[in-house]
Amino acid sequence: MTTIDLTDTSASAVSSALINARRAAGNQAVGMVLTFVVVVDEATHYDAMRSALDAGREHPSRVLVVITRPGRGPARLDAEIRVADSRPGDTIVLRLFGELAKHADSVVLPLLLPDTPVAVWWPSKAPPVPGEDPLGVLAQRRITDSAASSQPIRALHQRAVSYQPGDTDLAWTRLTPWRALLAAALDQMPGATVTAATVEAERSNPSAEILGSWLGGRLGVEVTRRASSGPGITLVQMTTSGGPNIAPGDVVLSRPDGILAQLDLPGGPIRPVALRRRETAELLAEELRRLDPDDVYATVIKGCAPTERSA
């Protein structure tokens, strides 16, 4: 691991220092598949960077950690370059002081890898319209996390009204295993019609809202919401009318402890199924697998737009 600190520097100086560091370490910038921009504040940057680096094991990338420190001091860029021997890709922590904090794109743009996609992630606070943010504009994929906001449901509403192709939210990513199990459950009941659905979750859980929107949209039923003490989503129930050779009954997927769930299908035994809440790095790795707009998310998030009832 080579670390180089540069204070009061510029993007071009960072760029040439990076090339020198890599040459010294003997590994070249081969195999990197994307640039991953992480926009954080000083307090949370360590955890976010760890997650980004872990995700980078699956998607070797150049990680640019952008820490803005606006204030009255002079505009200044400090950079910390890390080239690891044990991991593909490289990491640059950029600290933007004073006036420069408003012009992060001017620092990031020259450091993007040529001809490869760019993803940007706001681990906590996201801009109101990610697609119009100066850094967001540079990216094919803009990842927010409404659950990390201090007001998750309000953040989710904001995501819904500000959606642009390429946006995605980790509250949606967290649902993939749930959705996979629910879809697989209905695979086993061909012809059965779902007449009602319920989602039970902790209060202010944006994933539950999104799951409700997805189920409601796909199944064409009203989805009942129930509050529980969590963690996260604790139960999904789909009432089916039965079909040819299928008895009517409820599909119930419940997970009281956030780790091990139970699946109950009409006419079948109750079966345990692993449904652990995933680490942020795993969520990011899933996000980075596809960098084209997620059309399913687009439909679902629009269904989460604020209404009079929820506002």
User: Could you tell me if 166 and 293 are in contact, meaning their C-beta atoms sit under 8 angstroms apart?
Assistant: yes
Calpha distance 128→162 (Å, rounded): 7
| 200 is a contact residue toward other proteins (CB under 8 A) | no
User: Could you tell me if 228 and 241 are in contact, meaning their C-beta atoms sit under 8 angstroms apart?
Assistant: no
User: Pick from 147, 174, 286, 301: which binds other proteins (CB under 8 A)?
Assistant: 286
| 265 is a contact residue toward other proteins (CB under 8 A) | yes
| 241 is a contact residue toward other proteins (CB under 8 A) | no
User: Pick from 219, 235, 281, 305: which binds other proteins (CB under 8 A)?
Assistant: 219
| 201 is a contact residue toward other proteins (CB under 8 A) | no
**φ, ψ for residue 119, nearest 5 deg:** -120, 140
Taking contact as CB under 8 A, which single stretch among the options 4-12, 105-113, 202-210, 258-266 is the one that binds other proteins? 258-266
Site residues (CB under 8 A) for other proteins, limited to 150-179: 173, 176-177, 179
Choose between 66 and 185: whose C-beta lies nearer to other proteins: 185
Contacts 24+ apart (CB under 8 A), 27-32: 27/83, 27/85, 29/62, 29/90, 29/113, 31/60, 31/88, 32/60, 32/61, 32/62, 32/88, 32/89, 32/113, 32/116
Calpha distance 52→62 (Å, rounded): 10
Calpha distance 210→206 (Å, rounded): 6
| CA geometry: angle 50, 51, 52, nearest 5 deg | 90
Q: Closest separation between CB of residue 100 and other proteins, Å?
A: 33
| 191 is a contact residue toward other proteins (CB under 8 A) | yes
DSSP-derived secondary structure letter, 219: H
Rg (CA), the chain: 22
Q: Closest separation between CB of residue 188 and other proteins, Å?
A: 6
Calpha distance 167→145 (Å, rounded): 11
| 248 is a contact residue toward other proteins (CB under 8 A) | no
Choose between 171 and 194: whose C-beta lies nearer to other proteins: 194
Q: Closest separation between CB of residue 194 and other proteins, Å?
A: 7
Residues 6+ apart with CB under 8 A from 307: none
| 247 is a contact residue toward other proteins (CB under 8 A) | no
User: Could you tell me if 240 and 194 are in contact, meaning their C-beta atoms sit under 8 angstroms apart?
Assistant: yes
Taking contact as CB under 8 A, which single stretch among the options 105-113, 190-198, 202-210, 223-231 is the one that binds other proteins? 190-198
Task: Return the structure tokens found at 245.
Answer: 């050779």
Site residues (CB under 8 A) for other proteins, limited to 84-143: 88
Residue 188's region, left for phi above 0, alpha for psi from -120 to 50, else beta, is alpha
User: Pick from 244, 295, 307, 311: which binds other proteins (CB under 8 A)?
Assistant: 295
Task: Return the structure tokens found at 47.
Answer: 């955890």
Q: Closest separation between CB of residue 67 and other proteins, Å?
A: 28
User: Pick from 194, 201, 211, 304: which binds other proteins (CB under 8 A)?
Assistant: 194
Site residues (CB under 8 A) for other proteins, limited to 11-70: 30-33, 57-60
Choose between 97 and 297: whose C-beta lies nearer to other proteins: 297
Residues that bind other proteins (CB under 8 A): 30-33, 57-60, 88, 173, 176-177, 179-184, 186-188, 190-191, 194, 215, 217-220, 259-260, 263, 265, 268-269, 271-276, 286, 290, 294-296, 299
